[in-house]
Chain A
Amino acid sequence: MFKRGPVDEVVAIDCETTGLNVRTDDIISIGAVKIRGNRILTSERFERVVRPDARMRTDAIKIHHLRQVDVEHQAPIRKLLHDLLHFVGGRPLVGYYVDFDIAMLDKHILPFIGIELPNPRIDISSLYYELKYGDAPPNISVDLSFSAILADLEIPSLPQHDAFNDALMTAMMYVTLRDKKKRGIRIPRSNSQAASDPFGGQAFLA
């Protein structure tokens, strides 16, 4: 884990939880996918449902569609940590507000191995903010919601609030944003997000 991961590899990760309070809520599913260069290795994914220590709350069940009965027979998170840590290794972790997911994981990892996750963190919302609003004048309205970023980058929307789908969409956002950054391309702030048509329609007949 302290060994650096293979060069040019990161892991996109997302956790579905019983709620948003790190202290009282808990993880119910974990999705993670490795990214090697520009390839998202969906064929080697990590996808687990967990039996949470905390009680499932109705409002959260409405979001992730995992009911008490769906998680009852799953392993508690302690049993999955070994596999997860092995999967992640020393690779940087990519997520949407990734600090929250890591804080949730650290609740269990700290007692398990005595330390918190040391991996470098890459937050999608920060990366997006930098490329879109980095040079913006003050007082501009900023939208960093998951669906806004998704739409802006024209990434197909998969059913959300499934840990693996969220991790995969995060991974697609990451490869897109990283490439834009590498090429020095900023994301335009105009309101129009119409799809570009390189031919201008008529050219189909030309």
Chain B
Amino acid sequence: MPKAFDAANPPFDRLTPHEVETLRAALDVVYFPPGESIIDQGASSGALFVIIKGTIEERDGTDLLALLGPKDSFDSRALVHGKSGHAFLAREEALCYSAPRHTVLDLIQSNPRFASFFYGDIARKLDEFVRDEDEQRHGSMMRARISELFLHPAAFIDADDTVGTAGRKMQEINSNALFVRDGDRTGIITGMNLSKAVILKCRSTQTSVRDLAHFDLVTLRPDDFVSSALVLMTKLNKRRIAIRDDERFVGILEDIDVLGFLAGSAQVIAGRIERAANRDDLAAAARQTTAQVRTLRRQGIDVELIGEIVSDLNQRLLSRLFDLTAPAEIRAGGCLMVMGSEGRGEQTARTDQDNGLILSGAIEQAELDKFRTAFSGALSDFGFPPCPGHVMVSNPAWSKPLPDYIADIRSWLALPDDTAHMNVAILFDARCVAGDTTLLTEVKAKLIEMARGEQAFLAHFARAIDLFPTPIGLFKHLITSAGKGDAIDLKKGGLFPIVHGVRSLALEHGLVETATDKRIDRLCDKGVLHAEFARELHQAFNFMLMLRLDGLLAESAGATGTLVRPSSLSSMERDLLRDAFYVVKKFREFIRHHFNLGAF
């Protein structure tokens, strides 16, 4: 049938046109009245259903796990493995396509890419998903616009100006090319042109630039594709293209920046940070770091690796800023640490400042205050907003001598309240970025030592995993998406429970790693987590981090990048997210059981 069946909807987009016809010919349409059970828990299913209209509930016993809406399909487990993990029933009147089991199984046999959607195991599904994304990555890079790239400023000199003037101007604006105005025409002159004239042709620095400039400008518009620039540069053998918005020159695009954009240029930024001589240099590098995330993501780089690269760049940035702003006494006897997601290396887009200072001894108050203000102030200028909980160097509670931290830990463990739990979590994720590492090592060793065997404390600590319930209802499509109603909070519902559950286990086992994925690996080594489950947890975590990063990039102007709108995801992504939340749910149960949380 149904010509109307949407074969562009994943996973059906992986079928060949011939396979789509086979599927279409076999489809029926089924109506379910409200409350009707479609697949019972543990039952097999003779068909794969794809929702046309209405809402289907997915239930585990009495728990509502998810609401499925138009274009969602169910249930691959019941179909392929002959046993549904969950029950499915119509919440309201529903119409579904029904594809017979044998037809779908035939397609699974003949088409491995389609088959990957039906793997029982989320890790395999995700691997396949990432591979698919990889194939698209070059396309998306080439579809980028020139305006997204770094442009050298459009600075002008007059054709009558001298070589010397041009050279000084280039030095001044830190650019290697200038526009030359000569009556009605505009040309370009580069540092290389100047050098050649002076060194090879022995021209005086008083020569006017008119004869040295090139007036055969190649121009493009800011909204032209990057790929156009690359083609022009190759074809005309030009290293620079003038970017003009109607009559106005807006900048110069150099080949090195195009290549840097395509290849990613984390190492270039790292170099810029190391060489930075002042706060302004650092501010420029900080801006580039943000742009870098988008590039890396486009290249299809794994989100874990992006986290590492960005953490590394931020670490260098903070370290350099520390060197520039801290007096010698603090540099020698202090340890600058980052905490929260930055500490765990999961900070993929720039967010709040989350940092602190451990001092080996007392520092003269005026000097310390000056540094606190200067450091946090500079970070604000770089675009790191202050931490809402004031976990930053400017707060005396988070910049003080080592013995004070140890006294704090003692009181947090003795009188645990919500604030104490939060502070332990913050400190336990801390990572040293500059100064004396041993100070943080000592503080953490003390924390681990004091928490060891404190089962009551650890259980209270772990309880926070239940602060936010796993979001349900997330797959319901709303007709109106004007409000925030159809968005789900990935951070609260998915990322936080994993981060905190893993953190609780890591604290119990005295792990020194800070990254969640590394903690999971170590917990697996120690036999705390089953290998299979550790892999699922790891993959689910990565998938949600990736969705969150995409959300952040999409809404880089707004502040709510942790919200994901199911309606903006493909049904494949929704299906994976559903699996990921199922892993979160299993992990919560594991933590509850492990710390005996039922006792509360």
Contacts and interface: CB of A to CB of B under 8 A. Distances in A.
A172 B2 CA distance: 13
Interface in A165-206: 165, 168, 171-172, 175-176, 179, 182-183, 194-199, 201-206
Nearest to A39: B30
Contact of A43 (B27, B469, B474): B27
Contacts of B100: 43
Given A156-B53, A206-B469, A38 B31 contact: yes
B22 to A, nearest CB: 11
A129 to B, nearest CB: 20
B456 interface: no
A168 B27 CA distance: 12
Contacts of B1: 42-43, 45, 164, 168
A148 interface: no
Contacts of B28: 39-43
A36 to B, nearest CB: 9
Nearest to A204: B473
B479 interface: yes
B98 interface: yes
A155 interface: yes
B93 A40 contact: no
B485 A202 contact: yes
B29 A197 contact: no
A179 B53 contact: no
A115 interface: no
B4 A172 contact: no
Contacts of B517: none
B33 interface: yes
Nearest to A201: B485
A204 B486 contact: yes
Nearest to A200: B485
B66 to A, nearest CB: 12
B4 A176 contact: no
B476 A40 contact: no
A158 interface: yes
B3 interface: yes
A182 B35 CA distance: 14
A166 B368 CA distance: 79
Contact of B26 (A43, A156, A202): A43
A156 B4 contact: yes
B448 to A, nearest CB: 35
Per DSSP, are chain B's interface residues mostly helix, strand or loop, or mixed? loop
Contacts of B95: 155-156, 172, 175-176
Interface residues of A, number: 34
B275 to A, nearest CB: 46
A130 interface: no
A99 interface: no
A154 interface: yes
Nearest to B2: A42
Contact of B479 (A171, A183, A194): A194
Contact of B4 (A39, A158, A201): A158
Contacts of A196: 92
Interface string A98-133: 000000000000000000000000000000000000
B25 A43 contact: yes
Nearest to A38: B31
Contact of B31 (A179, A197, A203, A206): A179
B367 to A, nearest CB: 46
Interface in B4-30: 4, 25-30
Nearest to A34: B28
B579 interface: no
A183 B26 CA distance: 31
Contacts of B488: 204-205
Contacts of B76: none
A71 B298 CA distance: 51
B31 A165 contact: no
A65 to B, nearest CB: 13
A175 B474 CA distance: 28
B473 A203 contact: yes
Looking at A39, A156, A164, A204, the one whose CB has the most chain B CB atoms below 10 A away is A204
A159 to B, nearest CB: 8
Nearest to B26: A43
Given A40-B28, A204-B487, A205-B489, 9 more contacts: A38-B32, A40-B30, A43-B100, A155-B95, A156-B4, A158-B3, A201-B486, A204-B485, A205-B487
19 contacts: A39-B98, A40-B28, A43-B1, A43-B26, A43-B27, A155-B53, A155-B95, A156-B52, A172-B29, A172-B95, A175-B31, A183-B33, A197-B476, A199-B473, A201-B484, A201-B486, A203-B473, A204-B473, A204-B476
Enumerate the 5 nearest inter-chain pairs by beta-carbon distance, A residue then B residue, closest first: A201-B485, A42-B1, A175-B31, A40-B29, A38-B31
Interface of A: 38-43, 45, 154-156, 158-159, 164-165, 168, 171-172, 175-176, 179, 182-183, 194-199, 201-206
Interface of B: 1-4, 25-33, 52-53, 55, 91-93, 95, 98, 100, 469, 471, 473-474, 476, 478-479, 483-489, 492
